[in-house]
Amino acid sequence: MTAFDTNLEKLETLLARFRTDGIPNRIAGGDVAGSGGVFQTRSPVDKSLICDVARGTAADIDAAANAASEAFVTWRDMPALERKRILIRVAEGIEARAEEIALCECWDTGQTIKFMSKAALRGAENFRYFADQVVQARDGQSLQSPTLMNITSRVPIGPVGVITPWNTPFMLSTWKIAPALAAGCTVVHKPAEASPLTARLLVEIAEEAGLPAGVLNTVNGFGDDAGRALCEHPKIKAIAFVGESSTGSLITKQGADTLKRNHLELGGKNPVIVFDDADLERALDAVIFMIFSINGERCTSSSRLFVQDTIREEFEARLVARVEAIKVGHPLDPATEIGPLVSEEHFAKVTSYFDIARTDGATIAAGGEVVGSEGYFIRPTVFTNATNEMRVAREEIFGPVLTSIPFSTEEEALAMANDTDYGLTGYLWTNDLTRALRFTDKLEAGMIWVNSENVRHLPTPFGGVKSSGIGRDGGDFSFDFYMEQKHVGFATGQHKITKLGAL
């Protein structure tokens, strides 16, 4: 029996429970049917039905927000070391069920086991990392003035809403939920409608680890219904959102009446710039990895390649040869490098860019075709002879699709890299140190890597500028969002108080 066969067999066993029970909402530690009935979730691998999912509406969000509000004081006031122990047990629970999480994620989203087994473990790492910050999260400063001893501390903001997308949904959910819980907040999670399976596993693991009922609540459903209600709910103090830039605008509008604090992690059209003095072997590996791993469905993907004209011909030729050799296939086959796109809607969007590229005058140098009709598979695609004005260079396609654009000078590369609505990440390949310093100083992006692909270090700030978002995650930056600064001033003597009405 091959590893692929074993994975398929294990998946069958795991899916049986979802087929029987569906996925209910989880509110205040209990399973609750959706007040809007159910919707169906299907696998992009073969379009088959996975299970029914509770369709949450404003009524379910209200119940979950009330549960989170009631649980807040208990969770906030629990001794820090006890909260830390629970979060570590969540990390251990994720590790123990990492294979189950990875298999379900692959079937639900089309992501490959090659990448999802690591993503599940990264979810555990997120919990472990923020568990370690629990004790000092409340710490503040002592700021003496001539008449006062001023102290600051941080307190959790209250119940928060977490709204997540369908790309690597388990890992991304933990990236938001772990710091929120570590800060002392309670959570209502609204997972993406296209990927409900692993959000259910997460809340189960958290409760088994000892998280009190109501501290983490999961309400499934659609964005313009359950999602909107979460943004509008007066008991929810903040929304941590990951998704499209246009949805980010809606989140802001919907939260206006309740003066919601919003953290927005949005889209990207990230540049990778390759100069002719770079280590071209490593640059090629990184260019390919950063757009074709995780099905290209990653916000930090480098979807625009700017390659210096002196090396363009050879670099593009080697790129195309490698891309043509990428293995597209069943996500549970360990050899597969690219699985199907997440849904019919997304497949239609991504494949529409094949014609858009042709119409705009680009060349399809690799891919540009669908694979079979059983699921939503496409070949990894490279557009060449493109300009930065074409739609394939301006719009976030969010699939395994790369647009290659030549440049001749550093100034030209910088101008084109910055000529975009987005500003999430940038990747620079050069062995000229002074140029790297100059270029990174001027590149408009929240995160830049020089001579490296995206390698996350959890204490560093994660987030974008321009239409790519507002706010930062990671390390202590996460606590700035989930906590409020509080100041208390103690008089140290009898300082003069201006007397009014005392002539």
Please tell me whether residue 190 binds ligand NAD under the rule CB under 6 A. yes
Picking from 215, 212, 217, 205, the residue whose alpha carbon sits closest to that of residue 88 is 205
CB of 154 to ligand NAD, least distance (A): 24
CB of 179 to ligand NAD, least distance (A): 14
Nearest CB to ligand NAD, comparing residues 161 and 406: 161
Three-state DSSP state, 259: coil
Q: Which of residues 216-245 bind ligand NAD (CB under 6 A)?
A: 222-224, 227-228, 231, 242-244
Please tell me whether residue 251 binds ligand NAD under the rule CB under 6 A. yes
Q: Is 299 a catalytic residue?
A: yes
Please tell me whether residue 375 binds ligand NAD under the rule CB under 6 A. no
Picking from 423, 411, 351, the residue whose alpha carbon sits closest to that of residue 380 is 351
Side-chain-side CA neighbours of residue 14 (13 Å): 22
Please tell me whether residue 426 binds ligand NAD under the rule CB under 6 A. no
DSSP strands (E only) in 130-186: 142-144, 148-156, 160-163
Say if residues 426 and 433 touch (Cβ distance below 8 Å): no
Please tell me whether residue 424 binds ligand NAD under the rule CB under 6 A. yes
Nearest CB to ligand NAD, comparing residues 157 and 251: 251
Please tell me whether residue 299 binds ligand NAD under the rule CB under 6 A. yes
Please tell me whether residue 265 binds ligand NAD under the rule CB under 6 A. yes
Nearest CB to ligand NAD, comparing residues 192 and 445: 192
Identified catalytic residue from 299, 396, 444, 453: 299
Side-chain-side CA neighbours of residue 321 (13 Å): 7
Q: Is 337 a catalytic residue?
A: no
Please tell me whether residue 308 binds ligand NAD under the rule CB under 6 A. no
Nearest CB to ligand NAD, comparing residues 94 and 231: 231
Nearest CB to ligand NAD, comparing residues 162 and 215: 162
**Binders of ligand NAD: how many residues, by CB under 6 A?**
33
Taking CA 208 as the corner, what is the angle to CA 206 and CA 210, rounded to the nearest 5 degrees?
Answer: 75
Those residues whose C-beta lies under 8 Å from the C-beta of residue 396, and which sit 6 or more positions away, are 244, 245, 267, 268, 269, 303, 422
How far apart CA 171 and CA 167 sit, in angstroms, is: 9
Nearest CB to ligand NAD, comparing residues 275 and 479: 479
- DSSP result, 83-133: HHHHHHHHHHHHHHTHHHHHHHHHHHH---HHHHHHHHHHHHHHHHHHHTT
Picking from 423, 424, 390, the residue whose alpha carbon sits closest to that of residue 404 is 390
CB of 73 to ligand NAD, least distance (A): 27
What is the rounded end-to-end Cα distance, in angstroms, of the chain? Answer: 96
Instruction: Please identify the residue of the shown chain whose CB is closest to the bound ligand NAD.
Output: 223
Identified catalytic residue from 193, 265, 396, 453: 265
Q: Radius of gyration over alpha carbons of the chain, in Å?
A: 24
- DSSP result, 182-208: HHT--EEEE--TT--HHHHHHHHHHHH
**Location of structure tokens 């050899």:** 335
Please tell me whether residue 169 binds ligand NAD under the rule CB under 6 A. no
Which one among 24, 196, 464, 475 touches ligand NAD, defined by CB under 6 A?
464
Q: Which of residues 393-412 bind ligand NAD (CB under 6 A)?
A: 396, 398
Please tell me whether residue 50 binds ligand NAD under the rule CB under 6 A. no
Which one among 71, 131, 185, 192 touches ligand NAD, defined by CB under 6 A?
192
Contact positions toward ligand NAD, by CB under 6 A? 163-167, 172, 190, 192-193, 222-224, 227-228, 231, 242-244, 247, 250-251, 254, 265-268, 299, 396, 398, 424, 464, 468-469
The set of catalytic residues is: 265, 299
